[in-house]
Amino acid sequence: MIAVVGWGAVVGGLQPLVAAIGSAGGVNVPLTFLIALVKGVLILFVLLTTAAYLVLAERKVSARIQLRLGPNRVGPAGLLQPAADAVKLIFKEASAPEGRDRFLFELAPALAAAMALFAFATIPINQTICIGGHGGAGPLSQTCPGGLALHWDLAHLNIGLLFILAITSVGVYSIFLGGWASNSKYALLGALRSSAQLISYEMAVSFAVIGPVLLAGSLDLEKVVHAQHSLWFVFLQPLAFLLYLTAGLAETNRLPFDLPEAEGELGAGYHTEMAGMRFGMYFVGEYINMVTVAAIATTLFLGGWMAPVFFLPNWLGPIWFFAKVGLLIFIMLWVRWTYPRLRYDRLMQLGWKVLLPLGLANIAVTAVFVALR
Amino acid sequence: MFRELIGGLRITMRNMLSKPVTIQYPEEQRPVPPRARGRHILHRYDNGLEKCIGCELCAGACPVGCIYVLAAANDPAHPVSPGERYAARYEINLVRCIYCGYCAEACPTEAITLGPRLDLADYKRERLVATKEDLLESWPGFRPTAAAPGRPDPAPRSELAAPSPTAPVARSATDTA
């Protein structure tokens, strides 16, 4: 509920504000608002559906890796399983512990889903398209004199990447507050682990994304993609790409870094006490975060909407984009069902003693390279 | 380290590309081993007479006392079994039964054996008391009132016919224990 309201706030507030500040004068505010509303609803719908079907994909992939079939009873080939799961979650009794913090206990799951949705707002799915006007938007200009520039992200920020990093940091609160408000030792332990883990891996994520940003010279995600038109950054920054994927797995609390959940040790970690749709929102948040991490990796390293081979048409932008996202998500699932969970001290060691120094070294080398260019 | 990580990924990818081993149970069923001890079968002779003569040796041999037999005298004009007596009622409490097969060992006429049927679950406990109609074998050559008693059937256990599909007969929930 709060997630939807919060999303509405972004749709209603952020976009016209940005539009008004960004291009003073000549902005058709009601039209901009309408477009933002449509885009917001579309993204909401697509992301929630994707999250639901990612659960099915995860179960199918895990089943095939373990030589099983996976869910195949609800609908053809199990394709209606997400609907059945959703109905089950909604109608399940949402039991709650006695001594909980009532406000935070309700807020935390909503925050998890809402922040996961927010983070997607600045990711460009395609390049800006010019409707009407003269001259049209060039490949690098994101304005459209005399016409309507149609951006393929919800909130067209020139600090898009910073916005995403900030929002994912807020997402940590949902986990920590959820664990703390539950008044349960397992939830609290899970939340403690998770905050320690997420803070250390957030550093690694930040350092990893600085490489492409240095090369592109902008935090504007659309400009970062344009900077890759000749060569994707994954070839210039392979180390940063691996760092980002590793730290991204830790950021989304997925195996082999799912210590906040750690079923074998902590019940279910921070959401031990969450039942029904409270759990459902954490679940949705986790899977949307997977999409977001994959989408950011696609934007920063895999050339966003650009065709994978030069002779393929670029106007299929969104399809290339989602194909790359899907590939990365598959890799995340594949990794999850291959490796066991790391021990906690090893996890922290990997974060602070391996990923962080590597990230720093990568920044230094990239900076020298950019300075000498 | 990277070689091991890649090696793990290769194994899971190979698994993913190979055929699943799942058997989709209600639709596909694995063949049961020939001497599996599942639900009991009460056998007939080829001429349709029941093998059971109501001697209650099975009930006596049963370590958990789950078999109840009520014997009655055969009508010479329309015998149910070749002997003097037959089982008017024959009930097995399938929940109490431990499927040890002692009843089959004790039976002098090989009238009762343990069959291949293993799916014994039900929603009503009362229905888990199998009556004579549930257990009795019936095959195409089945004749309810044979004129003459036939010879004993020397067929080995593995060649015995499959149990009859359970007909929706009324089952009693009586004093089998």
What are the tens digits of pLDDT across the range A118-170? 888 888 888 777 776 554 445 555 566 666 777 777 777 788 888 888 888 88
Task: Confirm or reject contact between B7 and chain A (CB < 8 A).
Answer: no
Rounded distance, CA A342 to CA A348, Å? 10
For A144, phi and psi rounded to 5 degrees? -145, 85
Cα A342 to Cα A16, A269, A339, A345, A353: the distances in Å are 45, 15, 9, 8, 15
Question: Mean pLDDT throughout B4-25?
Answer: 88
Rounded distance, CA B76 to CA A323, Å? 83
Strands A147-150 and A129-132: antiparallel
- Tell me the pLDDT band of A24, cut-offs 50, 70 and 90: very low
CB contact under 8 A, B9 and A335: yes
A4 is written with which tokens?
């939807």
pLDDT, tens digit (0-9, with 9 covering 90-100), for A288-321 = 989 999 999 999 998 888 877 766 666 677 888 8
Residue of A nearest to B22 (CA): A68
CB contact under 8 A, B9 and A68: no
CB contact under 8 A, B20 and A337: no
Q: What is the pLDDT of residue B144?
A: 38
Q: What is the pLDDT of residue B155?
A: 43
Give the A:B interface size as CB pairs under 8 Å: 33
Rounded distance, CA A189 to CA A262, Å? 10
E-strand ranges in B8-102 read 40-42, 67-73, 85-93
Range from A100-109, A262-271, B64-73, B167-176 that averages highest in pLDDT: B64-73
CB contact under 8 A, A69 and B20: yes
Residue of A nearest to B11 (CA): A338
Rounded distance, CA A123 to CA A121, Å? 6
Selected for mutation to probe chain B from A67, A242, A330 (highest B CB count within 10 Å) is A67
The sign of the dihedral angle between the CA atoms of B115, B120, B125, B127 is negative
Candidate from A64, A334, A337 with C-beta closest to B20: A64
E-strand ranges in A210-275 read none
Residue of A nearest to B9 (CA): A338
CB contact under 8 A, A334 and B9: yes
CB contact under 8 A, A64 and B15: yes
Beta bridge partners of B129: B93
Residue of B nearest to A62 (CA): B16
Give all domains of chain B, ordered by start, each with its CATH number: 32-159 (3.30.70.3270)
CB contact under 8 A, A67 and B11: no
Task: Confirm or reject contact between B169 and chain A (CB < 8 A).
Answer: no
Supply the mean pLDDT for chain A. 81
Q: What is the pLDDT of residue B105?
A: 93
- A103 in Cβ contact with A202 (< 8 Å): no
Cα A17 to its chain centre, rounded Å, is: 23
- The CB density around residue B34, as the number of other CB atoms within 10 Å, is 11
Q: Which residues of A touch B (CB under 8 A)?
A: 61, 63-69, 334-335, 337-339
Candidate from A68, A335, A339 with C-beta closest to B20: A68
Q: Residue A129, SS3? A: strand
Strand order in the sheet with B67-73: B67-73, B85-93, B129-130
By the 10 Å C-beta count (0-12 exposed, 13-18 middle, 19+ buried), A222 is classed as: buried
More confident: A133 or A364: A364
Selected for mutation to probe chain B from A60, A65, A336 (highest B CB count within 10 Å) is A65
Selected for mutation to probe chain B from A61, A62, A66 (highest B CB count within 10 Å) is A66
A262 is written with which tokens?
């750690």
Q: What is the pLDDT of residue B39?
A: 86
Question: Mean pLDDT throughout A2-9?
Answer: 52
Question: Mean pLDDT throughout A27-49?
Answer: 82
- B116 in Cβ contact with B159 (< 8 Å): no
Residue B51: pLDDT above 80?
yes
